[in-house]
Chains A and B, each alone.
Chain A
Amino acid sequence: MDTPIKTPVLEGWFTLDEREPHLLGARCSTCGTYYFPKQIKFCRHPDCAGEAFEEVQLSRKGRIWSYTNAAYKPPEPYISNDPFVPYSIAAVELERERMIVLGQVASGVGVEALRVGMEVELVLEALDDGKLSWKWKPLQGAAR
């Protein structure tokens, strides 16, 4: 039987390569500034008039800048199972892009397993409504 094709929670925000997924960003052809999400027409660097961008795959590994969790069910449009299962959230620094990107942390990883500075990688996982989202997951053997 065919596996049903999973749909992303946000169309065009990340690649659907389940083994090595990437967030999809944009890079200004004039000044090199990265953007996520990629929907950008005019560069936001105040001294750059750039209007041309290339789509880029953002680094899929980074280090935790900070982390927390959602102990309560968020309001709509978040969709969650009943009973609600708390999830962790990480803000991750990408070295090449010099930017911080938020995301949920892979399910089953509690805040007690996270540390600022810890190395994480991007994975794809279904949210409670079955739609795929990006999540951060500690690398095997990452320093605790």
Chain B
Amino acid sequence: MNKDIAILGVGMHPWGKWGRNFVEYGVVAARAALADAGVNWRDVQFVSGAATMRNGYPGYVAGATFAQALGWQGAQVNTSYAACASGSQALAAARSKILSGECEVAMVIGADTTPKGFLAPQKGERPDDPDWVRFRIGITNPTYFALYARRRMALYGDTQDDFALVKVKNAEHGFDNPNARYRKKFTAQDVAASAMVADPLRLMDICATSDGAAALIVSSLDYARRIGKQNAPRVAAISTVTPTFATDTVEMPDLATDSAVAAEPLRFRAALPRKAYEEAGIGPEDVSLAEVYDLSTALELDWMEDLQFCARGDAAKLVRERVTRIGGRLPVNPSGGLACFGEAVPAQALAQVCELTWQLRGQSGSRQVQGAKVGITANQGLFGHGSSVIVKR
């Protein structure tokens, strides 16, 4: 059985720090996706929302919130929360509905409004919550990114200049992207002059938090054919696997890894794309471009290795050789990535799919990756959530 579904339309609300209600962003993205798909809102049979935890009850029931804002029309609804992978889980829910024959066309949508500064835990004295505990002893999100970055420096000889190259590349990629928040061609000197946040990472190595929204209209291949979109890009794989005990890397928000005395240590990030490749029946050699979660510049290098684009330790070399730039053999983050967007948690995994869709349709203008046929996404968030999605033509 063919397990592909078609991506009929995609839409986004530009990323920024707009300070408005997240529902408003979501509706803008949803209407753009409907128009792009040529699908009437009343024909959408399933609304699959990605939740936001920072906007009260409407955010917890995001699927219904967006369905109401677009005008109740009797669709079935679902809401998913999986930190950075929320959008992918919402997409997986839509795919299941479509492949089981319970619906033909679905909307997948996520939007967020974020507070300023460090992401902080819920208030109160809550020693049972690992997220509260780590902040209590002074361990923030950049701490983890910096530990991984320093580890690369010690193991592979990566330098802060290598990390800066990732920022410079992504800044160039996102410069012309109308949906990006930061559109400036930063230089290596700019990165080096920015404030140290968590040694060896500076402010410009670390992604911000943003407001934004992204939406997809997806359908069965049969429906796509009936409306003349048989050539639409397809979702060929959605991996949302959990880590496998014992985790080898200390991950947010934990203060310790699993103990590996009774099981071998395994890397979670590498498991995500492995499952996606297996599901799509392709390998890293088939990939034309990738959108990866560059929470930090150095993390993009980890992802390149986890996606099996090169051997462990060789990612910085690929960046130095301009392989991951647009025009190179394997562009990474042609959208500009989180470096240019900042993270809007429930929308981010869907924004990655939007970019792959535009790229595979050849509609990316100045950031077009020539001949793009297969794209892969990768992201990872709190509490063992992560995802990898493959889109192909």
- Chain B residues with CB under 8 Å of A101's CB are 250, 255-256
The number of chain A residues touching the other chain, given as a range, is 35 or more
Question: Complex Cα distance A72/B120, Å?
Answer: 14
**Could you tell me if A44 and B245 are in contact, using CB atoms closer than 8 angstroms?**
yes
| Shortest Cβ distance from A68 into B: residue | B146
Segment 93-111 of A: residues with Cβ below 8 Å from B: 97-104, 111
Chain A residues near B142 (CB-CB < 8 A): 68
Q: Is the CB of B199 within 8 A of A66?
A: no
Check A116 against B259 for contact (C-beta < 8 Å). no
Contact call B255/A116, Cβ cutoff below 8 A? no
Q: Cβ of A70 < 8 Å from any Cβ of B? A: yes
Query: Distance in Å from the Cβ of B42 to the closest Cβ of chain A?
Result: 45
B143 near A89: Cβ-Cβ < 8 Å: yes
Which of chain B's residues have a CB closer than 8 A to the CB of A71? 195-199
Confirm or deny: A53 has a beta carbon within 8 angstroms of a beta carbon on chain B.
no
| Interface contact tally, CB-CB below 8 A | 139
Complex Cα distance A75/B260, Å?
A: 32
Nearest chain B CB to A80 CB, angstrom units: 8
Check if A130 is an interface residue, CB within 8 A of chain B: no
Render A47-72 as a binary contact track against B, CB cut-off 8 A, 1 for contact: 01000000000000000011111111
Q: Is the CB of A11 within 8 A of B127?
A: yes
Asked if residues A78 and B128 are in contact (CB atoms below 8 Å), the reply is no
Count the B residues whose beta carbon is within 8 Å of the partner chain — how many? Answer: 49
Inter-subunit contact A33/B262 (CB<8 Å): yes
| B residues 250-274 touching A (CB-CB < 8 Å) | 250, 255-263, 265
Per DSSP, chain A at the interface is loop
Return B62 CB to nearest CB of chain A, in Å: 25
Q: How far, in whole Å, are A140 and B139 apart by their CA atoms in the complex?
A: 26
B256 touches A75 (CB 8 A): no
Q: Given A77-B136, A78-B135, do A102 and B255 touch, yes or no (CB 8 Å)? A: yes
Asked if A65 and B151 make an inter-chain contact with CB atoms under 8 angstroms apart, the answer reads yes
- In contact, B120 and A66 (Cβ under 8 angstroms): no
Chain B residue numbers with a CB within 8 Å of A69 are 146, 198-199
Task: List A contacts of B150 (CB < 8 A).
Answer: 66-68, 116
A35 vs B136: C-alpha distance in the bound complex, in angstroms?
20
**Contact B146–A74 (Cβ < 8 Å):** no
Contact A44 B258 (CB under 8 A): yes
User: What per-residue 1/0 map shows which CB atoms of B190-227 lie under 8 Å from chain A?
Assistant: 00000111111100000000000000000000000000
Most B-side CB within 10 Å, residue of A39, A71, A100, A117: A100
Please provide the 10 A-B residue pairs with the shortest distance between their CB atoms, ordered closest to farther: A68-B146, A116-B154, A34-B259, A75-B120, A98-B260, A66-B147, A66-B151, A99-B259, A31-B262, A100-B257
Can you list 8 A-B pairs, Cβ within 8 angstroms, ordered by A? A33-B246, A36-B255, A45-B262, A66-B151, A74-B118, A75-B117, A98-B246, A98-B265
Give the B-binding residues of A (Cβ under 8 A). 9-11, 28, 31-37, 39, 44-46, 48, 65-72, 74-78, 80, 87, 89, 91, 97-104, 111, 115-117, 127, 133
